[in-house]
Structure formats: structure tokens, C-alpha cells
A and B are shown apart, each in its own frame.
Chain A
Amino acid sequence: MPALRCARMARLILAMGLSAAGCAPIGWTRVTLNHPLRPEDVAFITPGKTKWDEVMNRLGAPNQLSGTPTGVVANYYYYDGKYFGVDFGWPLNFVGPLSFAPHSMVLRNGGIGADTFQVAFDANGAVQYDGFSHASAASQFKSWPFEGYIP
């Protein structure tokens, strides 16, 4: 439960960061949680051979540890949020009487991707499996928020 709370809090911080994009007529915003682990950083891990101490010494303490019936699972979080927004009505601020009428035409779009690295250990501290979540595709700068060309 605390682990779930921790993950929720991380997502909340990301969402708050994305929503604080400011009031500029156009803007690119990027929010990241932690540094990404690269495949070469974890290449030393061999399931069945690599031990708990080696993983912890090389990667540091994980963001989340969970007990499982067969051992322990460690998660190293990496979240990446990208957000783009543009106000097409903003130039009307400079067009005489129109500037006094509502004239915003804002399109915003964003996404948060995750590439969490997970490594599971058995009761003897040997790695059972490891892998990335490979869910970072959601993180893209896009302006068009609709599914098709017509809203």
C-alpha cells in the first residue's frame, strides 16, 4: 500500500508539473521523474547468477521494494511527460476591438510515458528476471488533441 501511495504521488507530481505549463501562447513542457537507466547500465545482470548485493551496489537503492511469495521485486522508476500547447487566438490580442472579446482557441496535448526497470530476486538473493516496462511511447509532443481530423 505505501508503495502504491509512492507511485501515485510520483504521478501526481508529474501531472502537477504538466498542468503548470504557464500562460504563454505556445509552449513545450517536459517533466521527468528520475534519470533513465539504459540497457547498458543493466547489462551486467544475468538471471540465476547475479546477486542482490551486486545489483544494489551498481544501481543504488530502488524507488520501490516489494515482497513477493518467492522473494523481492525492486523497481527503478523513470517517468517522462511531454506536453505541448498553442493558443491560436492569441494574435487577436493585437486586433483592436476583438481583443476585448473572448478569443482563445487553445489546443493542448500531452502524455506521460514510463520506462521502469524491474528486477526480481528469489529468496536466496539471486536475480530471477529483469526488464524494462517499455511504456514510454505515450510521451510525445503533439498538438492535435482529437482522434481524427474533425473534433
Chain B
Amino acid sequence: MTVFVCLLWMGLAMVGASGCAFSRGDLGTQFKDNAVSSIKKGRTTAAQVVALLGAPDSIKEINHQEVFHYYRYTVKHATFLVFTRVNIASDDLYVFFDQEGVVDQVMFGNRTNKLKFQSWPFGG
């Protein structure tokens, strides 16, 4: 019985020492839907893209095309008792330009909108 009570107190202390926490962090600002949708293939220029979204995070050359890459990351962390889970996701926006510096293609991947606060670390 004494051992049981001792274990119970230890368990309660463990719970108290761990507790519960939620935190969130962002790297970069969220892409505005209207800013992304206002980039038009065959019309918008590189200067207008920079005016809308700011300077790109990186510039690549792919298949003789200039490509602006914008990205942001979001982190959601949750701790419940002794279980912690940290979920991270990124949004990526690529803007391809033709030889005249006009938008040829826009690709946007939004993964942060599905990011959840989870604490259970097991399973999928």
C-alpha cells in the first residue's frame, strides 16, 4: 500500500512537472490569397510580382527560365503530460518567367492550412 501511495504521488508529481503546453511559430508571413491570384500568366511582370510579394526567398534558373521561390514555415507544438508532438509544414510558391520577364507559370502549395496541434506522438 505504501509503495502504491508513493507511486501515486510520484505519478502526480510527474504530471505536475510535465503539464500541458501549446506553442506556435512562423517563419515568414502568410501568403495573401488575393496577391497570389492576382499574378496572371502572360501578363504580370517580374517587377509586379516583387511589388506584390516582396523580394523572393530564392531565385533559380530552370530550363533557361528564371524562377522565383517564396516559402514560409509554420510550427505547431503541443505537450500533454509526457507526450509532445511538433508539426511543421511549409507553403511554397514558385513563379516561372519567360525570356521577356513575364509570368509563364505559377505553382502554389499550401500545406500549413492542414497543420494541426497534436500531442500524441505515436502512429501516423
Give the B-binding residues of A (Cβ under 8 A): 2-3, 5-6, 9-10, 13-14, 17, 20-36, 56, 59-63, 65-67, 71-72, 77, 82, 90-91, 93-94, 123, 141
B60 & A34 in contact (Cβ 8 Å cutoff): no
Q: In the complex, which residue of chain B has the Cβ closest to the Cβ of A14? A: B88
CB contacts (< 8 Å) of B67 on chain A: these are 65
A123 & B63 in contact (Cβ 8 Å cutoff): yes
For B82, give its contact among A6, A27, A72, A94 (CB under 8 Å).
A27
Q: In the complex, which residue of chain A has the Cβ closest to the Cβ of B118? A: A30
Chain B interfacial residues counted at CB < 8 A: 44
Contacts A6-B71, A67-B61, A72-B63 given; indicate if A35 touches B83 (C-beta within 8 A).
Answer: no
Contacts A60-B109, A72-B62 given; indicate if A27 touches B84 (C-beta within 8 A).
Answer: yes
For residue B18, CB closer than 8 A to chain A, the reply is yes
A29 & B85 in contact (Cβ 8 Å cutoff): yes
For residue B58, CB closer than 8 A to chain A, the reply is yes
A3 & B85 in contact (Cβ 8 Å cutoff): no
CB contacts (< 8 Å) of A63 on chain B: these are 71, 90, 92, 109
CB contacts (< 8 Å) of A62 on chain B: these are 92, 109
B14 & A22 in contact (Cβ 8 Å cutoff): no
Query: Shortest beta-carbon distance, B3 to chain A, in Å?
Result: 12
For residue B117, CB closer than 8 A to chain A, the reply is no
Bound Cα distance A60, B111 (Å): 9
A29 & B60 in contact (Cβ 8 Å cutoff): no
Contacts A24-B18, A62-B109 given; indicate if A67 touches B87 (C-beta within 8 A).
Answer: no
